[in-house]
Amino acid sequence: MSTTDLIDTVELSENVSIDNEQDQSMDHNEEEQTQQEQYQFDVIVIGSGPGGYTSAIRCAQLGKSVAIIERDLLGGHAVNWGCIPLNAMIASARFIRLIHESVRYGINISSHRIDYLRIARHRDEVVKKARSQIKKFLEKYHIQVYTGVANIIDKNHIIIKPIQKYTYINVYDADGRNPYETDDYIPIRADIEISGKNIIIASGIEYNFPNFVETNDTKTIDPTQLLWHKNIPDSLIIIGGGVLGCEFASLYRHLRSNIILIEKNSRLLKFMDEQVSFAVETRLKDIGVEIILNAYVERVSKGEVIIQLQQTNTKRTLLSSLVVICTGRKSTFDYENLQNLGINIDQEHSTIIINENTCQTSIPTIYACGGVVSSCWSWIPCVIHQGYLAANRISEYEDNSKSYIPINLVTPFVINVIPAVASVGEVPKLTDDVLIYTFKFQSNQRAIIDNQTWGFIKMWTTREEPKKFLAVQLVHEAAAEIIEYYSMIISLNIPLREICLLPFAHPTYTESVKEACEYVLGQSMNYEGTYLN
């Protein structure tokens, strides 16, 4: 080989080496850029409950890249520990009630046995299906899920930390498995920082024991621990006569527990109309629930509850197998950190203040919905609606400020006692401009056929013509389905006279909506009714 050839070979080798180094450098830069892009999103949602998965899926449907951070199982508290499992068990309780009433229909069931293991398995299966459905849609819209604890650094950045404490690590399903033992639950092992153009806080709330409960008392439990208890308690003291307290009293009395329900106020469900509250109280007493009103709890320890009766100024000691606390709740978020970021907080209620129409906080890139928000009742329909509002605002899908639907005024809710209670609208103060009517189900043909005539619809309407509904509350077996009609009527601002022109299937419970409207307008053909003004 000549000297010239040797020099050419060396130069070629050096050039190839330089090219390789440049290629490796470019590859490394591209890899870093790809990794950075993997942690950058249009929207980051904290919490995968109803508000979280609704806003996440809606944003993805509108073309946004989305990440969800969840510290618990997919679906959050409502799907895994609250609404869904509770209502799965209430479904079993409704069958127990039907068995007790079967003789009315000519069917004599002389004996039956409550198989709690099968009831619990039904509960578990319902929860798994609900969680699987959420997972399916998150995957369909390519939503990245991180299982960890979210810490907001600033208006666009979040550090996700590994989970230090599982919410219900000591809870087990019907077959003795811990719910966290699933392929769907893969917590992160190290800190991850991600960024988003927008952040939605939908982290929800959790149960909190009041100060009167003794520390580490194994006989005092929260509602979730009761739902996953290994058996039906022989006796149960329920503290709190609100929604959960009444639902649990109804459920476990049908499961044959001896129930004592304690409420500090003069009536149950104090936020509901007095006539509705009294109806619920009557039904609970009819099935054997002992109700103690005007009672302050002084101490709870090892199944013993000491109460102070306000009317007689005397003390009473109660004993039971378990005590369930249905009063205290707290947010899952660090509000001090949010305040330091510049987010306005409602100090009295420890909740985030938002714009009602957009769900934006005082920081425009950070939104909030659900139990962490001051304007939400924590009813799931309200939470879902807020999730839609936030997603639509972020995606500039529509001008939410022009929405004619005020969230709390037309959000229907259901209290799943047996029979159920439902409500929509804000009950107005009684003035000359407001009229009140009561329609009873005794004239509804479906109710007569099913022998379910117990119950009523209470309606608040305008006096001026054309008459319109302001609020509706009802008690009936079919309340959950009927209330949806009233919600649409109020939200769409439809006069009653137009409802009377609509055809309804016959015979149905929903036909009672038209029948009630006809009665209010003095056009009823089958009901005389009760005018309460």
- Per-residue three-class SS string for 463-503: CCCCCCEEEEEEEECCHHHHHHHHHHHHHCCCCHHHHCCCC
Q: Is the pLDDT of residue 23 over 60?
A: no
From the list 198, 525, 228, the residue with the least C-alpha distance to 365 is 198
Residue 319 annotated in ligand binding? no
Q: Is 328 annotated as belonging to a binding site?
A: yes
Give CA torsion, residues 50, 53, 54, 55, to 10 deg: 120
Helical axes 83-100 vs 243-254, angle rounded to 10°: 40
- Of residues 18 and 471, more confidence is placed in 471
Helices (H) then strands (E): counts for the chain: 15, 25
Mean pLDDT of the region 413-421: 95
Mean pLDDT for the stretch of residues 234-261: 97
Please identify which residue in the block is written with the tokens 């869904």.
84
Q: State the span(s) of the chain assigned CATH 3.30.390.30.
A: 419-521
Mean pLDDT, the chain, as a whole number?
A: 89
Taking the C-alpha atoms of residue 392 and residue 202, their distance in angstroms, rounded to an integer, is: 15
**Do β-strands 456-462 and 220-221 pair in parallel, antiparallel, or remain unpaired?**
unpaired
Q: Is 304 annotated as a binding residue?
A: no
Residue pLDDT, tens place only, 155-214 = 999 999 999 888 888 888 998 988 888 777 889 999 999 999 999 999 988 888 999 999
**Is the confidence at residue 454, as pLDDT, over 50?**
yes
Class of domain 220-327: alpha beta
Which of 28, 254, 349, 506 is catalytic? The answer is 506
What's the average model confidence in pLDDT over 278-291? 97
pLDDT at 17 over 90: no
Helices 479-491, 511-520: crossing angle, 10 deg rounding = 50
In the chain, what percentage of residues exceed pLDDT 70? 89
Q: How many angstroms separate the Cα of 46 from the Cα of each of 35, 53, 199, 349, 462?
A: 21, 10, 8, 21, 42
The single residue listed with the structure tokens 């690590």 is: 169
Residue 242 assigned ligand-binding role: yes
pLDDT, position 37: 55
What is the three-class DSSP state of 192?
Answer: strand
Q: Helix, strand or coil for residue 114?
A: coil
361-384 average pLDDT score: 85
Q: How far is residue 274's CA from residue 417's CA, in Å, rounded to a whole number?
A: 16
Q: Is the pLDDT of residue 332 over 60?
A: yes
Condensed to tens digits (0 to 9), the pLDDT of residues 479-489 reads 999 999 999 99
pTM: 0.89
Domain with CATH 3.50.50.60 in the chain: 41-206+330-395, 220-327
Let me know if domain 41-206+330-395 sits in CATH 3.50.50.60: yes
348-360 confidence digits (pLDDT tens):
777 899 998 899 9
What integer is the mean pLDDT of 56-66?
A: 97
Q: How many whole angstroms separate alpha carbon 48 and alpha carbon 71?
A: 9
| Percent of the chain residues past pLDDT 90, beyond the cut | 71
- Residue range 419-521, CATH number: 3.30.390.30
pLDDT of residue 154: 95
111-136 average pLDDT score? 95
6-10, 18-22, 232-236, 292-296 — which is least confidently predicted?
Answer: 6-10
263 is in an annotated binding site: yes
Higher-confidence position of 31 and 275? 275
Is residue 247 marked as binding?
Answer: yes
Q: Torsion angle, CA of 37/40/43/47, rounded to 10 degrees?
A: 120
Q: Lowest mean pLDDT of 70-84, 156-170, 372-386, name the range.
A: 372-386
Active site residue 77: no
What pLDDT is stored for residue 302 in this prediction? 94
Fill in the amino acid letter for 40.
Answer: Q
Q: Does the annotation list 246 as a binding residue?
A: yes
Q: Which residues 6+ apart lie within 8 Å of 2 measured at CB?
A: none
**How far, in Å, CA of 378 to CA of 360, rounded?**
17
